[in-house]
Structure 1
Amino acid sequence: MQGLLPLREYEPLRDLHRFVEVGGQLTLELGAARVPRPRRGRPGEGLPTGHARSVVNAILEVRTGRRPVSQVQGLVGAQLYAQLGLWRPLRNVRFTVKSLRSCAITPTSYEVGVTATTGTRTHAVMARFELAGSGWRCVFFEIIRLGAR
């Protein structure tokens, strides 16, 4: 049977303070009340595969009319968002993402190739992600219909 480990002392402002000299006296200067949450995606970290898969899946659901365009507004660039609102939905189709491959073009942009299947057909999907101030955003999206010219 394992014993319980003792709890650490409660220090809500650990590493958020420093001493400054004001008028010859050392005064404790407090920093921010909370630690800022790290942003999703930074140059050098790369595009998280799970994030790319979920964004591509959400855009596919928008293209088939199963999801409103407004739900992907924070995930896509402004130009792609406008295009998604103009495209006619693909009716009676449900895509399933089978595989996803990504390739770094620059440290702040990735291109993603996806294999998506419907009931009887397989389609290729291309997407381009760029790192914006709020995280990775999809700026280009295209469903490639195999056999079409």
Structure 2
Amino acid sequence: MSTSDPAAHPDVRAALAALHELYATPPALGDCLMFSAHVDERDVSVTLAFETRQLPDRPRPEWGGKPYNTFVFSLVFGGAAGLRVHGLLADERREVSLEPLPDGRLAVSVVGPHRSLTFTAATLALADPAVRLSGGV
């Protein structure tokens, strides 16, 4: 459980603001399926990709006219350090935590019953929000 408000971090506030452009109440990260974790050693970043069946209340105009039942988005964490991975397969149930640290970094953890992913990051940005037609979430 987080002891401080993640929204106190300016990058978290910006990502939440971007989601609030689409949602009255954005889905909780732990309620979304995390379908990808990409570690980029060149940019020293970790990208976590999520999908949810909780569709945006205010979809983008370019999404109109096409069928969709799933919203997907990524969180890109720059300046990643201290990456620790235990297990590689996704757990259906997991807790996702973003905790601001005193040095201005974010502590990130994705913890399930049998697997975990933890690291710290200097930055966070929302990337690639989109809708698609999906067979199963």
TM-score by length of 1: 0.36
Task: Pick the structure with greater CA Rg.
Answer: 1
TM-score by length of 2: 0.38
> Which structure dedicates a bigger proportion of its chain to helix?
1
> Which structure dedicates a bigger proportion of its chain to strand?
2
